[in-house]
A = this chain, B = another copy of it.
């Protein structure tokens, strides 16, 4: 959920049906029209929801798109045995979501929204910090404690290297990811660490 639930004593509660229908309609809208021609009016119509309901619960249009896309990304398995596997697992869920059904179209639209709109970007970066940056920092720290590591290497640079190629392929080129992309990216990352 986007908003912190306000303490209230009376009145109807937020409708879960509406929330679900709106996010579903958002995905359909992204598939059919992309970010450029995205229309709140159409989403409301499609979800049989009032526009008021949309504006009440989400801070911006792009945020809805990001949120709708994030629902497609599964939880990571966390079963990696070495550093390379652990890193690969960080982006594997994204790769997986991209390959299922219309996942590519939805994620494309949502990521463009995140690029275009400040608040949607914030929402995406929040997720990325929690699901990628934080675990990645732990993994890198662990490596650093055992091996020698380049000094000019920080987590943000690592993220650029890890995620950048995906964004380039999916968002800028609108092309599918080649097989075994996340594995290869993880290996590349490890290679970079040597001083």
Residues of A within 8 A of B (CB): 34-36, 108, 111-112, 114-118, 121, 124-125, 152, 156-157, 159-161, 163-169, 171-175, 178, 184, 188, 191-192
* Chain A, interface SS category: helix
A175 to B164, CA, bound (A): 13
* Interface-centre pick from A112, A156, A191 (highest chain B CB count, 10 A): A112
Interface residue from B112, B125, B164, B192 paired with A116 (Cβ < 8 Å) = B112
A26 to B140, CA, bound (A): 43
Q: A164-B166, A169-B164, A172-B111 are in contact. Are A116 and B188 (CB under 8 A)?
A: no
A9 to B59, CA, bound (A): 30
CB-nearest residue of chain B relative to A154?
Answer: B178
A167 to B112, CA, bound (A): 12
Q: A165-B161, A188-B192 are in contact. Are A116 and B36 (CB under 8 A)?
A: yes
Q: How far is the CB of A123 from chain B (nearest CB, A)?
A: 12
A175 to B160, CA, bound (A): 11
The contact sample of 28 A-B pairs, CB cut-off 8 A, is A35-B116, A36-B116, A111-B115, A112-B115, A114-B172, A116-B116, A118-B174, A121-B172, A121-B174, A152-B184, A156-B175, A159-B168, A160-B165, A160-B168, A160-B169, A161-B165, A161-B188, A163-B164, A163-B172, A164-B164, A164-B167, A164-B168, A164-B169, A165-B165, A167-B171, A167-B172, A168-B168, A191-B191
Interface residue from B124, B125, B160, B192 paired with A191 (Cβ < 8 Å) = B192
Q: A125-B173, A168-B160, A169-B160 are in contact. Are A36 and B117 (CB under 8 A)?
A: yes
Q: Is A171 a contact of B115 with CB atoms below 8 Å?
A: yes
Q: How far is the CB of A112 from chain B (nearest CB, A)?
A: 5
